[in-house]
Amino acid sequence: MEQLAVMTEERGSAGLVESCQRGDREAFRLLFEGYKDKVYSVALYFFGGDEALASDVTQQVFLKLFTRIGQFRHQSEFSTWLYRLTTNACIDEQRKRKRFEPAGDAESALLPRARGSAEEKVARHEVRDELQSAIAALKPKLRIAILLKYFEELSYAEIADALGCSQGTVASRINRGHKVLARRLGHLRGSMFGGE
Amino acid sequence: MFARHIGKELSAYAHGELPAAESARVARHLASCARCSAEFEEIKLGIRLVESLPPRAAPAALWGEIEAALAALAATNANSPTGFETETFAPVAPRPRDSRPEARARVRELVFGRGGATRLAGWRRAALACSLFILVAGVCGVVWVYRGSTRASWEVASLAGSPQVGSARVGKTGRLGVGEWLVTDADSRAQLSVANIGQVEIDPGTRLRLVSTKLTEHRIELAHGRMHARIWAPPRLFFVETPSAVAADLGCAYTLEVDDKGRSLLHVTSGWVAFETKDRESMVPAGASCVTQPGTGPGTPFFEDAGETFVESLARFDFARGGREALASVLREARARDTLTLWHLLARTSGEDRVSVYERLARLSPPPSTVTREGALALDRRMLDEWKGSLEATWLGGRDNNIKGTWRRLQAWMERNCPIP
């Protein structure tokens, strides 16, 4: 798989995409294998650990990618284009779901889960669930910036390209995201990081 | 005092996204601004929380589902003039593969090009090969994700001789990965670049391992030998584990040496270092040193220009159960600058001994008006910190002794008098 990642990177934005545009089936597969886990991880944590929804969104992203690859004109990095598709798919899905959710503030609805003594939550998976919920409760703009940073390992400039905003805006959103998470989950410091 | 606070730049700073000059400005501000330092702790917690979430592998069946969805989509759009170029997608659920040969041919033609149609006879074999490929790729993926967590590495440069990483010799430069050992023999020296936050020089006869390197923490283990660290990061980003304590950088330069018994000497040349175990911490400023011993942890820090009797009595108190007699000698020999040692001894003594330490300390440097005798003897954290703050002026400057000579004498003395428990 490491070899596959290297191949994907080497053939990367130019070679692989051109091969896809010529209908090279193996190139499609390589693109998918090279990026699927990153796209899936972003979608998974965007939707608070909902695996079925993350699979659906990942599927949508690659379907859009494969059916529109003929339109790609190499004016931007392929990865930026892919992450823009990922971002749009997540935000669109979130909007669709919001229409059918009962009224109320999603963030405040999650807050009670984020409280309680650390002693009651020593089980690792519970702590992780709480963290996932807190990320899912961030405002979508903060959430997607944080996820692109940590799961796509993008620089601020690349995130700015993918989101269509300035690097300063990206820095501000990531900073706010970190602060909200730290304030909301400060009580987990002990159970997660050994009481530092 | 009137410097602009840097709260909004802290994540960019932690992620290495600021230009060098800006980054240096933020580091300087952090060293002097309690408000921004507290905010930086918050940001670091946020970073560590997100970093604790592992990347997740997409389900293995996803490729098959995408192919099926493409096939279904192609069948739906078979008569559309734009074919696959469909702008709107309903949420896609896994669908059964369309069995109509003409639809499948259309899908293959659209997705894989016209040449694909001629390979239709081999489709089943190809599908089998693909399934096998996905299985192998999945297994490799697990290995890759696992290895990914330990792939980070630092640059290592050879300064003399032939340093080794694992069993491989380092040429002019090489990489030290997480979990790998860097070993220098009697003739070799090396230099490590600590991510983008500092440098460590490794002396001959040293064995050192990279334990972890993350945005919020860089950690090495010094098993034996000597290293010189120069770190320009905010406090508590760089840690060195020794057999008997952990050195936590607080923005500084220092030398750390571990002998073959696991004892270590920390000698700080700039800034501060916290030398700590789970239940004991020594704060060591520039010009001071601290000795550790396995089973005991960090001793009490002392200035290197302290008298020989003072240093030896302190070692007796820390490591050889010297008790009241050794303590009395320490207090008798203490100068104004040795209040560093006495301030630490307040928390390491009890009862009458603590009262003796308090009285000597108060005589050498009276506490601020906000610190009461009762509060200091009760080890009130706020009061002790305030007293430390007022003492720090006397701890700066001074003449550095020959610490190498002091350490050699102390090592020999400890070898005779301080058996390792």
**ipTM of the modeled complex:** 0.79
Element containing residue A43 per DSSP (H, E): helix A25-46
Task: State how far residue B13 is from chain A, nearest Cα, in angstroms.
Answer: 10
Cα angle vertex B59, ends A154, B88, to 5°?
70
Task: State how far residue A105 is from chain B, nearest Cα, in angstroms.
Answer: 23
Give residue A61's domain range. 2-189
Rounded to whole angstroms, how far apart are CA atoms B195 and B213?
8
Rounded to whole angstroms, how far apart are CA atoms B235 and A187?
22
Structure tokens at A163: 């989101």
Q: What is the pLDDT of residue A130?
A: 86
Structure tokens at B246: 């952990």
Distances (CA, A) of B406 to A56, B289, B409: 68, 10, 5
Structure tokens at B294: 């396995």
Instruction: Dump strand ranges (E) for B232-388.
Output: 238-241, 246-258, 264-277, 280-285, 288-293, 297-298, 302-303
Q: What is the pLDDT of residue B395?
A: 81
Length of chain B: 421
Rounded to whole angstroms, how far apart are CA atoms B314 and A184?
46
Within-domain flag for A54: yes
Q: Closest to A146 (Cβ–Cβ): which among B50, B69, B70?
A: B50
Contact A36 B62 (CB under 8 A): yes
Query: Looking at beta carbons, which residues of chain B come within 8 Å of A56?
Result: 91-93
Full-model pTM: 0.47
Please state, as a whole number, how many other Cβ atoms lie within 10 Å of the Cβ of residue A59.
28
Domains: count for chain A: 1
Whether A124 contacts chain B with CB within 8 A = no
Whether B59 contacts chain A with CB within 8 A = yes
Rounded mean pLDDT, B101-113: 38
Q: Closest to B55 (Cβ–Cβ): which among A29, A41, A58?
A: A41
Residue ranges of domains in chain B: 7-48, 62-148
HSE-CB at B365 with a 13 A cutoff on CA atoms is 21
Q: What is the pLDDT of residue B158?
A: 92
Q: Are B232 and B213 in contact (CB under 8 A)?
A: no
Query: What backbone torsions phi and psi does residue B282 show, to the nearest 5 degrees?
Result: -115, 125
Q: Which B-chain residues 9-28 have CB contacts (< 8 A) with chain A?
A: 9-12, 15, 17
Element containing residue A54 per DSSP (H, E): helix A51-68
Q: Closest to A23 (Cβ–Cβ): which among B58, B116, B137?
A: B116
Contact B140 A45 (CB under 8 A): no
The CATH number of whichever domain residue A183 belongs to comes to 1.10.1740.10
HSE-CB at A131 with a 13 A cutoff on CA atoms is 27
> Searching chain B, which residue's CA lies closest to the CA of residue A59?
B66
- Please write the tens of the pLDDT for every residue from B121-146: 455 556 666 666 666 665 555 444 44
Query: Looking at beta carbons, which residues of chain A come within 8 Å of B49?
Result: 131, 134, 181-182, 185, 188, 192
Whether B47 contacts chain A with CB within 8 A = yes
- Please write the tens of the pLDDT for every residue from A59-68: 989 888 888 8
Closest C-alpha among B373, B269, B90 to residue A60: B90
| Average per-residue pLDDT for chain B | 78
Query: CB contacts < 8 Å between A and B, how many?
Result: 159
- Residue B216 DSSP one-character state: T
Residue B293 pLDDT grade (very low, low, confident, very high; cuts 50, 70, 90) = confident
Whether B137 contacts chain A with CB within 8 A = yes
> Searching chain A, which residue's CA lies closest to the CA of residue B70?
A63
Distances (CA, A) of B190 to A35, B269, B404: 38, 20, 21
Within-domain flag for A18: yes
Task: State how far residue B246 is from chain A, nearest Cα, in angstroms.
Answer: 14
Contact B42 A185 (CB under 8 A): no
Q: Which residues contact B76 (CB under 8 A, 6 or more apart)?
A: none
Rounded to whole angstroms, how far apart are CA atoms A40 and A152?
10
Within-domain flag for A65: yes
Q: Which A-chain residues 83-102 have CB contacts (< 8 A) with chain B?
A: 93, 96
Distances (CA, A) of A141 to A56, A144, A147, A154, A174: 21, 6, 10, 16, 9
Q: Closest to A59 (Cβ–Cβ): which among B52, B66, B144?
A: B66
Residue A193 pLDDT grade (very low, low, confident, very high; cuts 50, 70, 90) = low
Q: Which residues contact B396 (CB under 8 A, 6 or more apart)?
A: B285, B286, B287
Query: Looking at beta carbons, which residues of chain B come within 8 Å of A150?
Result: 50-51, 53
Within-domain flag for A194: no
- Please write the tens of the pLDDT for every residue from B335-392: 888 999 999 999 999 899 999 999 999 999 999 999 999 999 999 988 998 898 888 8
